[in-house]
Amino acid sequence: MTADPRRFLYRTLDPDAARQLAARHLSACDDGELYLQYAVNEAFGFDDGRLKTADYNASSGFGLRGVSGEMTAFSHANEISEAAIDRAAATLRLIDPAVGVAALPPKRTNQSMYDGDDPLVLVPFAEKVALCERIDASARARDPRVVQVSVTLAASWSVIDILRGDGFAASDIRPLVRLGVSIVVEQNGRRETGYHGVGGRHLYTPLFDEAAWTRGIDIALAQALANLESVAAPAGEMEVVLGPGWPGVLLHEAVGHGLEGDFNRKGSSAFSGRIGERVAAPGVTVIDDGAMLQRRGSLTIDDEGTPTGRTVLIEDGILKGYLQDRLNARLMGMAPTGNGRRQSFAHAPMPRMTNTFMLGGSDDPGELVERVKDGIYAKTFGGGQVDITSGKFVFSCTEAYRIRGGRVAEPIKGATLIGDGPSVLTRVKGIGNDLALDEGIGVCGKGGQSIPAGVGQPTLLIDGLTVGGTAA
């Protein structure tokens, strides 16, 4: 029988003592929790035909949070012991005593999405390095124009316990892996790069499947070779077709963050106070679902103990709700949605996305391209920025093409998409029937915290986005 993975949390503290500590220190608060975590992380960097970096670390600790009204007290330490938790509890005395009725505990769930026992040690170090070597050699053999290959392999495994003052307790196990392949090609003195990554909440096994990493090489190389033939991107407002899958990161940044509860409670989001209003074109339905098996943003429970699930944010263009943690849901008179997330025990939870995507429509993707006389097809995005208050965003395309006369034409370089979330959704003129989720590489930043997240969308036709280009 597999040993209980929670043993990593209780090497210096008895589980019963932990429950008693939570009850003693949190009983006077409206809400809050004692969050215990043990995590192991490793990462490999393979570049120029050799292993450049190999890192492994293990960490454990707790975060103690008390909530009273709108006030939050939070403290943490990397030592799980009764003495450390007692010291941390002094922070709770800095907030006002609870004056209202204590918040009800999260709902219970029988859902158990992940199990196992510290799987990082199950695959020997040499086999992980050998995988990187095989990918490197295979990529270099593909095309004589390949001059550099970089492979990144990373994994983490974490077990958490969440204990409340009312006796509630919940636990979760969280595996996470990621494989990235970057290829640089050169021709006539010009160099261009292509990248592809895969991953998710599972163990290493799928990454060692030759079909999986071979596909990653093929996609990265095709992108690099396309960029090698690219010309300067045009500039101006034009029709844009967004490809399926990863381009959903635009939806994530331009719309998703604006639908998180804290921004809307404070009135700082462009979507504040607009539930029930039309905020998008008919047919646009946006979902956040944290209970999808093996998806990068999925969790059995969120970091407050609330079960994850499927939350409809926008339905047929109408705003239906926000993403809520417990604090903002209580203050807004709404129900938590299982979106209270934190980077680690050293961080307090806040409302965050899990896997956020737009549902598919009925349009044929090829027909959407045929509607465009002169525009661009954005296949893959790189980085982006968004201003929550206005919803304005800027995204750079890592692979994009000109559309001429309803056909995908020459690749373009240096294209950026500029717009604002609230209006871009109203300009959706076609929704493909090819919904795809990303490949499991997304990282979301907010308030100094980084967490894994998923995105997705079908092919979309947007009637009018500002394209920033470099063509004269």
Q: Which residue has the higher pLDDT, 386 or 283?
A: 283
Backbone angles phi, psi at 356, to 5 degrees: -115, 125
To the nearest 10°, the Cα dihedral for 221, 369, 383, 181? -20
pLDDT in tens, 240-261: 999 999 999 888 988 899 999 9
Q: What pLDDT is attached to residue 193?
A: 96
Nearest-angstrom CA–CA distance, 398 and 194: 8
User: Would you place residue 392 in the very low, low, confident or very high pLDDT band (cuts 50, 70, 90)?
Assistant: confident
Assess whether pLDDT exceeds 50 at residue 239: yes
Q: Which residue has the higher pLDDT, 28 or 340?
A: 340
pLDDT in tens, 166-198: 999 999 999 999 999 999 999 999 999 999 999
DSSP symbols for 97-146: PP-SPPPPPPPP--------S-GGGTS-HHHHHHHHHHHHHHHHHH-TTE
User: Would you place residue 3 in the very low, low, confident or very high pLDDT band (cuts 50, 70, 90)?
Assistant: confident
149-182 per-residue burial string, b: 16 or more CB within 10 A, e: under 16? bbbbbbbbbbbbbbbbbeebbbbbbbbbbbbbbb
**pTM score:** 0.94
Segments making up each domain of the chain, as ranges: 5-228, 232-468
pLDDT in tens, 100-128: 777 888 988 877 787 766 667 778 999 99
Pairing state of beta strands 169-187 and 443-446? unpaired
Q: Which residue has the higher pLDDT, 337 or 421?
A: 337
Nearest-angstrom CA–CA distance, 371 and 87: 65
Yes or no: say if 312 and 322 are a contact pair by the CB < 8 Å rule. no
Nearest-angstrom CA–CA distance, 435 and 417: 21
Assess whether pLDDT exceeds 50 at residue 281: yes
Nearest-angstrom CA–CA distance, 33 and 389: 31
Assess whether pLDDT exceeds 50 at residue 1: no
The arithmetic mean of pLDDT across residues 116-144, rounded, is 90
Q: What pLDDT is attached to residue 115?
A: 73
Assess whether pLDDT exceeds 50 at residue 230: yes
Pairing state of beta strands 374-386 and 236-242? parallel
Q: What pLDDT is attached to residue 98?
A: 64
Q: Which residue has the higher pLDDT, 350 or 108?
A: 350
Q: What pLDDT is attached to residue 118?
A: 61
Mean pLDDT in the chain? 93
Q: What pLDDT is attached to residue 384?
A: 74
What's the CATH fold of domain 5-228? Answer: PmbA/TldD fold (3.30.2290)
Assess whether pLDDT exceeds 80 at residue 471: no
Amino acid in the structure at residue 387 = D
Q: What pLDDT is attached to residue 470?
A: 76
pLDDT in tens, 417-452: 998 888 899 999 999 999 999 999 999 999 999 999
297: left (phi over 0), alpha (psi -120 to 50) or beta: alpha
